[in-house]
């Protein structure tokens, strides 16, 4: 059989994973990441984004196009026979939106294979920047959307989430009001995921329900745009949005640009999804049961769900699962962003960070931190601020332990609505390579923590989705169990088990942390 290519276009980097499937023999042939700041300094991003003023966070879509092109070149130069790639899919950072002018479709269909992609994409942008998930400048827009739709609960029941600053509806509403001419000139609004898929197929790609649910615009049960939310967001919005298609839809064929420029064949391009829904597949969570944590730029905790049950506290989300059904997710903005800030503040590298964690006692002698280095999503904290209790800011080891314990306790506290009891946590993301951090997770959740062998679950999930959709398109009744087999098994050498003494300490501490958190966040 063939090769399948998956991408993860996330906040700070683009990752690609190529898998090979020959009957029951499955293996990962290639995995590679490009860091946006380092590889594309001309775009001036810091950790993949630009923040012109506090609360406003954007990224240049042309940079994502440049990264896609660079990566396709890297893959073609690997000595792989790229004409054997049967299908391609991907994952994008969720919620971010890309605004294209009329005429974009024509240009996409006729890209000049002698010229770099980014310079051909730049003139197609009705808005040179894309607001991304770190943006929290749209509280007024969220309020307006909520009241137009009939309140938090009504919006959550309809779309899977109450209004969130980073979700696409609030971002579109702000743009349409602040820049009416640019909005009027906008012909198509893509998510990062559907934009990247469009670059591959050379025409407008659809949005699929996993990522579509991160917009506050989609009727979650029907997989259709919800008219009440469209009306409350911006004029004539529906004609500007791509259609919603099921996750396993083949969006088109890899366009001639890629075939001529890098020698790829006419691979099938499957609708891209969001990075979290894709990681759900890459971690093998196709049925309700296990819970996963992704320790990336954001930290997320998520699991599959058979029915759409809402978080009573209003902080969690329900998205579509690319395997059908639903997934529940809670997102924390201060993930690696905050860990890196603590690491840098004390002049440490990751080895030094881990050593400090090892050398400090479980529970940190009662010292605690609320590590809101940037505005926090869960709990909602619009103004950044780091709060310490019984913690001397100059004490490096205790500050290291305090941030890791705080993040683990926040994840446990705000994921009870998804899973009141957890037996196994599956971990992915850059910080999942750190055993000391994962041990704190195991102790706080009172659960085993395992990893899967490939390091990037979102790009692996994308490659698996490409394979699954390709088989379906060929008329094979492939199940998700068959699709993930051999890729998402737990790496037993990574298994960490909770220590009973630590579990006891954290059971008490969790109540204290909860009180501390709500006393500050309100
Ligand atoms: C999820 C969220 C983040 C981004 C990161 O709701 O905002 O996890 O998807 O890429």
For the chain (522 residues), the mean pLDDT of every run of 10, in chain order, is: 94 97 92 98 98 95 98 96 98 98 97 98 98 97 98 96 97 98 98 99 98 98 98 98 98 98 98 98 90 95 89 90 95 95 97 96 97 95 95 97 98 94 93 96 97 91 98 96 94 96 98 97 84
Residue nearest to ligand 1 atom 8, measured at CA: 298
- The Å distance, Cα 268 to ligand 1 centre, comes to 26
Residue 173: closest CA among 142, 146, 151, 133: 142
- The Å distance, Cα 388 to ligand 1 centre, comes to 26
As a whole number of angstroms, the distance between CA 473 and CA 477 comes to 9
- Measure the CA angle with vertex 242, ends 161 and 259; round to 5°: 125
Residue 387 pairs in a beta bridge with 370
Handedness of CA 234, 240, 244, 247 (dihedral sign): negative
Q: Which atom of ligand 1 is nearest to the CA of 276?
A: 9
As a whole number of angstroms, the distance between CA 268 and CA 479 comes to 19
- Report the pLDDT value the prediction gives residue 455, as an integer from 0 to 100: 85
What are the structure tokens assigned to 334, written together? 């201060």
| Preceding amide of 379 cis, omega within 30 | yes
- Report the pLDDT value the prediction gives residue 307, as an integer from 0 to 100: 85
- The Å distance, Cα 359 to ligand 1 centre, comes to 32
- Report the pLDDT value the prediction gives residue 289, as an integer from 0 to 100: 81
- Report the pLDDT value the prediction gives residue 315, as an integer from 0 to 100: 85
- Using CB atoms within 10 Å of the CB of residue 107, give its burial: 0 to 12 exposed, 13 to 18 middle, 19+ buried: middle
Task: Find the length of the chain.
Answer: 522
Residue nearest to ligand 1 atom 9, measured at CA: 94
| Number of other residues whose CB lies within 10 A of the CB of residue 29 | 15
- Report the pLDDT value the prediction gives residue 162, as an integer from 0 to 100: 96
Q: Which of 169, 298, 318 to mutate to test the pocket of ligand 1 (most atoms within 8 A of CB)?
A: 298
- Report the pLDDT value the prediction gives residue 522, as an integer from 0 to 100: 78
Residue 357: closest CA among 425, 448, 443: 443
- Report the pLDDT value the prediction gives residue 434, as an integer from 0 to 100: 95
- The Å distance, Cα 330 to ligand 1 centre, comes to 9
- The Å distance, Cα 149 to ligand 1 centre, comes to 24
- The Å distance, Cα 370 to ligand 1 centre, comes to 20
In the DSSP assignment, the letter for residue 314 is S
Handedness of CA 86, 199, 138, 136 (dihedral sign): positive
As a whole number of angstroms, the distance between CA 50 and CA 158 comes to 32
- Report the pLDDT value the prediction gives residue 309, as an integer from 0 to 100: 83
pTM of this prediction?
0.96
Ligand 1 is surrounded, with C-beta below 6 A, by 10-11, 93-95, 133, 166, 214, 274-276, 298, 300, 331
């Amino acid at each position: 059989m063939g090769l399948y290519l998956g991408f993860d276009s996330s906040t700070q980097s683009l990752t690609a994973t190529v898998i090979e499937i020959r009957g029951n023999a499955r293996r990962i042939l290639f995995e590679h990441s490009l860091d946006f700041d380092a590889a594309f300094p001309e775009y001036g991003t810091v950790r993949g984004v630009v923040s012109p003023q506090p609360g406003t966070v954007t990224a240049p879509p042309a940079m994502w196009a440049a990264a896609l092109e660079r990566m396709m070149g890297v893959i073609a130069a690997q000595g792989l026979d790229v004409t054997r790639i049967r299908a391609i899919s991907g994952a994008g950072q969720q919620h971010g939106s890309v605004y294209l002018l009329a005429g974009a479709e024509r240009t996409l269909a006729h890209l000049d294979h002698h010229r770099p992609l980014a310079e051909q994409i730049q003139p197609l942008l009705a808005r040179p920047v894309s607001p991304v998930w770190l943006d929290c400048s749209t509280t007024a827009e969220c309020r307006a959307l909520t009241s137009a739709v009939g309140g938090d609960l009504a919006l959550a029941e309809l779309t899977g989430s109450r209004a969130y600053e980073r979700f696409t509806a609030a971002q579109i509403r702000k743009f349409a009001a602040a820049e009416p001419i640019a909005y009027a000139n906008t012909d198509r609004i893509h998510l990062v995921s559907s934009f990247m898929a469009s670059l591959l197929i050379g025409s407008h790609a659809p949005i699929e329900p996993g990522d579509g649910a991160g917009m506050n615009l989609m009727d979650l049960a029907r997989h259709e745009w919800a008219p009440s939310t469209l009306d409350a967001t911006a004029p004539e919005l529906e004609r500007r949005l791509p259609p919603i298609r099921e996750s396993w839809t083949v969006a088109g064929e890899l366009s001639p640009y890629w075939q001529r420029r890098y020698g790829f064949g006419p691979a099938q391009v499957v609708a891209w999804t969001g990075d979290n829904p894709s990681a759900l597949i890459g971690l093998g969570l196709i049925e309700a049961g296990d819970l996963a944590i992704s320790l990336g730029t954001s930290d997320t905790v998520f699991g599959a769900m058979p029915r759409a049950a809402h978080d009573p506290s209003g902080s969690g989300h329900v998205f579509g699962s690319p395997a059908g059904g639903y997934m529940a997710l809670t997102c924390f903005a201060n993930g690696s962003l905050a860990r890196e800030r603590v690491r840098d503040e004390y002049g440490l590298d990751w080895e030094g960070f881990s050593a400090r964690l090892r050398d400090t006692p479980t529970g940190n002698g009662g010292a605690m931190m609320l590590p809101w280095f940037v505005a926090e999503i869960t709990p909602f904290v619009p103004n950044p601020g780091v709060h310490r209790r019984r913690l001397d800011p100059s004490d490096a080891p205790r500050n290291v332990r305090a941030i890791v314990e705080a993040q683990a306790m926040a994840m446990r506290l705000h994921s009870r609505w998804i899973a009141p009891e957890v037996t196994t946590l599956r971990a992915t993301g850059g910080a999942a390579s750190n055993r000391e951090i994962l041990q704190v997770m195991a102790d706080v959740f009172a659960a085993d923590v395992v990893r899967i062998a490939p390091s990037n679950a979102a790009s692996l999930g994308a490659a698996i989705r490409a394979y699954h959709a390709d088989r379906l398109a060929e008329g094979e009744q492939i199940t998700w169990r068959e699709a993930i087999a051999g890729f998402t098994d737990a790496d037993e050498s990574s298994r960490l088990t909770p220590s009973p003494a630590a579990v006891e300490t954290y059971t008490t501490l969790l109540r204290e942390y909860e009180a501390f958190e709500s006393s500050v966040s309100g």
